[in-house]
Amino acid sequence: MLFALSALLQLACLVSAQTVYLAGDSTMAKGGGGGGTDGWGVYLPQYLNIPVVNMAVGGTSARSYSESGLFNNLVNAVKAGDFVIIEFGHNDAHANPDNGKQDAVGDGYDITAVVTNAAGQQILIHSFAYYIENAINPMKAKGATVIISSVTPDNIWTGNTVGVGGRFVDYAQSIGRNESIIYVDHNAYVGQAYDNLGQTTVNTFYPNDHLHTSPAGANVVAQAFVRGLLCSKTSNLIPHVNSAGQAVPNGCL
């Protein structure tokens, strides 16, 4: 009887264990863009008290993550109570011929475009919001909490300010609003962290290009996400931020 009870308790514990899943590109993925760089998702577990499964894949866009079945894998993996953080945009820009990654340009679910691929065929593509919202809905239906996070800034400065914003930031914000999910303006929070550190320090985070961070840079980007999350106030992921996460630098925007 006691044994059966403890087995049951263990099972209940296993079933209730929550997981944070990450979907994104090289700026989030393990190993980043190669050459000693790393993605911010690798550093996020330091700031949470529940496990993180980093399913970010370098080179992906909202569209290619969807069309290659990676979003489906994620939908299949999540269970009630889990969290999913989605962040795309670096590989979603316009391309001619089509590169399998670009999205139809525009802010809205229903936007489509017909583009020509490398083989000369005309194909129909959809918007950034379409690919992401189609993944969000089944995750929500399974009882997962989805957080949409805006794309990280590139290391390009004007005076003492790193460049922030852009259409993929706007698109992510619209998805958050339309889907009634938590939106973390990661782009702006990284911008704040970088401006406070200054360009000389931030340049050391970018050994190869203006996109992929060193491990130290990826940690700053992870901290900026945690700051944005804490400032979002209503997320039910906040109780899972540990003391190191509570202590990340900078304030609410």
Ligand X SMILES: *[C@@H]1O[C@H](CO)[C@@H](O)[C@H](O)[C@H]1NC(C)=O
Residues forming the active site: 26, 209, 212
Cβ closest to ligand X, residue 178 vs residue 196: 178
Measured from each CB, the residue nearest to ligand X is: 108
Q: Which stretch binds ligand X (CB under 6 A): 40-48, 117-125, 174-182, 228-236?
A: 174-182
Closest approach of Cβ 119 to ligand X, in Å? 30
- Asked if residue 204 binds ligand X (CB under 6 A), the reply is no
Q: Which stretch binds ligand X (CB under 6 A): 18-26, 73-81, 101-109, 185-193?
A: 101-109
Q: Which of 92, 103, 133, 185 binds ligand X (CB under 6 A)?
A: 133
Q: With contacts defined by CB under 6 A, name the span among 67-75, 103-111, 221-229, 233-241 that binds ligand X.
A: 103-111
How is the chain classified by DSSP, letter by letter?
Answer: -HHHHHHHHHHHHHHH---EEEEE-TTTSTTTTSTT---GGGTGGGGBSS-EEE---TT--HHHHHHTTHHHHHHHH--TT-EEEEE--TT-S--SSB-S---BSSSSTT-EEEEEBTTS-EEEEEBHHHHHHHHHHHHHHTT-EEEEEPPPPPS-EETTEE----HHHHHHHHHHHHTT-EEE-HHHHHHHHHHHH-HHHHHTT-SSSSSPPPHHHHHHHHHHHHHHHHHT-S-TTGGGB-HHHHT-SS---
Sole binder of ligand X in the list 28, 75, 164, 175 (CB under 6 A) = 175
Q: Does 137 bind ligand X (CB under 6 A)?
A: no
Least separation in angstroms between CB 173 and ligand X: 9
Among 18, 27, 174, 192, binds ligand X (CB under 6 A): 174
Closer CB to ligand X, 133 or 185, in the complex: 133
What single-letter amino acid sits at 19?
T
Q: Which range in 13-21, 106-114, 213-221, 243-251 contacts ligand X by CB under 6 A?
A: 106-114
Among 20, 86, 129, 226, binds ligand X (CB under 6 A): 129
Give me the long-range contacts of 245-249 (CB less than 8 A, separation at least 24): 245/46, 245/47, 245/48, 248/47, 248/223, 248/224, 249/193, 249/196, 249/223
Q: Is 35 in the site for ligand X (CB under 6 A)?
A: no
Judged by CB under 6 A, which of 9, 68, 110, 207 binds ligand X? Answer: 110
Residue 103 touches ligand X, criterion: CB under 6 A: no
